[in-house]
A and B are shown apart, each in its own frame.
Chain A
Amino acid sequence: MTIHGLWVISKAGGLVFSRSYSDVLPPQPVNTILTLAGILHGIHAITAKLTPTPIPGVPVGGLESFEAEGWGGKVFLTPTGTKFVVLHSIPQTGLDELMKRIYEIYSDAVMKNPFHTPEMPINSSLFETKLQTLMSGVNA
């Protein structure tokens, strides 16, 4: 039950934050993660178009989670268009709670920071420390 990593993707599809919290997944160069985040952003949009039973009047959602053998990812889309992608091991519980906590930490440490430019890479040490505490609480 471990969290392998967290990505934050901006409204335009660019990666603004990525951190790995366990050794299960091999470390990737930054450019690879940038490309993969962009791909995920596009996949999120296309999956919304492929619904077989759209209900008129209800907005269609995009990709929410995916699974590979042994690990998976969950995508949380905020009303402002920011995506939080959590890579986790498969028998993982409490993911929704975790995503909410991450969003709280993001809005406290990043959005309320007057020196942070929206849609730009996140450079806040407070954000990273708080996330580290949260993740070590979950991974322990």
Chain B
Amino acid sequence: MTIYSLYIFDRHCECVYYQDWHRTRPVRAPPQTSFKPGVHRLPPPPSTTSSQPNGNVNRESIFSENAAAAANRNSLVSNGTSTSQSNKLSLPKGLPFDEEAKLVYGVILSLRNMVKKLSGRDEAFTSYSTSSYKLHLFETPTNYKFILLSDPSSDSLRFVLRQLYVGPFLEYVIRNPLVKVDSREEGVDNDQVSVVPQQWSQRDRFPTSSRHQ
């Protein structure tokens, strides 16, 4: 049972914490305009970005990634000679971090609304799975959303998220007088918050390393 990544969203629908383990497709740093300090440990974007003078960065979308991957596939089919080059390009580049966080939040919100409408009561969905990952959601009464991505064979990891909330998050973030809770500029840059999922992923580190080799 491996854990891939952890997101925490606050009630302003913004990602305030992100941590990842075992990802093979690395997440790219967000462009300068939407970089919030303290959310994640990714390297900050260079201060002189290759953008136009009026600040419009060429933002990637999921469709541009699709076009690049399709072009690579076509070139693989047409000329099998330049395989080494296409092998390097065939792994699609990850989306910038803020785009990915927005996508995750959008999926969560839409699924939650759908489940709420279908069931008639105010219940939220707990997890969804695809063939390659499983996403677990834990929502607090204060509208913080804890999201964990793991491999599809795991059982419900909601209790891990609940332990994370009740333990390190409440203790070291909410009850910390120096942390600006509910700020819109800073994220939750706290080592303690990733302790519980870290322990879980370390417990399974041997099975995952043998799977990768």
Interface size on A, residues (CB 8 A): 34
Which residues of A have CB within 8 Å of B133?
Answer: 50-53
Number of chain B residues close to chain A: CB under 8 A: 42
- Would you list which residues of chain A between 8 and 66 have a CB under 8 Å from chain B? 25-26, 28, 32, 36, 39-40, 42-43, 46-57, 60-66
Judging by beta carbons under 8 Å apart, are A46 and B130 in contact? no
User: Is B123's beta carbon under 8 Å from chain A?
Assistant: yes
| Residue contact B125 to A32, C-beta cutoff 8 Å | no
A32 and B132 form a contact (CB under 8 A): no
Interface centre among B5, B22, B115 (most CB of A within 10 A): B115
- A63–B108 Cα gap in the complex (Å)? 12
- Give the A-binding residues of B (Cβ under 8 A): 4-5, 20, 22-25, 62, 65, 87, 90-92, 95, 100, 103-104, 106-107, 110-111, 113-115, 117-120, 123-133, 135, 149, 156
B118 A25 Cβ-Cβ under 8 A: yes
Q: Are B118 and A36 in contact (CB under 8 A)?
A: yes
Are the C-beta atoms of A61 and B131 separated by less than 8 Å?
yes
Distance between Cα atoms of A46 and B101 in the complex (Å): 12
Q: Are B132 and A53 in contact (CB under 8 A)?
A: yes
Number of A-B contacts (CB under 8 A): 108
One of A67-75, A101-109, A114-122, A128-136 at the interface: A67-75
**Cross-chain pairs A/B with CB under 8 angstroms, 11 sampled:** A39-B114, A46-B103, A49-B95, A52-B133, A54-B132, A56-B90, A61-B131, A64-B129, A66-B125, A67-B128, A68-B123
Point out the residue from A26, A40, A47, A61 that lies within 8 Å of B114, measured CB to CB: A40
Which residues of B are found within 8 Å of A60, using beta-carbon distances? 130-132
Q: Which residues of A contact B (CB under 8 A)?
A: 25-26, 28, 32, 36, 39-40, 42-43, 46-57, 60-71, 87
Give bound CA distance, A71 to B24, whole Å.
Answer: 33
- Expressed in whole angstroms, the minimum distance between the Cβ of B86 and any Cβ of chain A is 10
Given A49-B103, A61-B132, answer yes or no on A87-B118 (Cβ-Cβ < 8 Å): yes
Distance of A111 from chain B, by nearest CB (Å): 25
Between A39, A47, A63, A71, the greatest number of chain B beta carbons within 10 A of the residue's beta carbon is seen for: A47
Chain A residues, Cβ within 8 Å of B24: 52-55
CA distance A47 to B107 in the complex (A): 7
Q: Is the CB of B25 within 8 A of A54?
A: yes
Q: Are B132 and A51 in contact (CB under 8 A)?
A: yes
Closest to A58 in B: B132
CA distance A56 to B83 in the complex (A): 13
- From A50, A55, A61, A66, give the contact of B103 (CB < 8 A): A50
Q: Assuming A26-B119, A60-B132, what are 7 further A-B pairs, CB within 8 angstroms?
A: A25-B120, A36-B118, A47-B130, A48-B130, A53-B22, A56-B90, A70-B123
Q: Is B110's CB under 8 angstroms from A56's CB?
A: no
How many angstroms from the CA of A15 to the CA of B54 in the assembled complex? 44
Contact check, A62 vs B130: say whether CB atoms are below 8 A apart. Answer: yes
B130 lies within 8 A of A68 (CB)? no
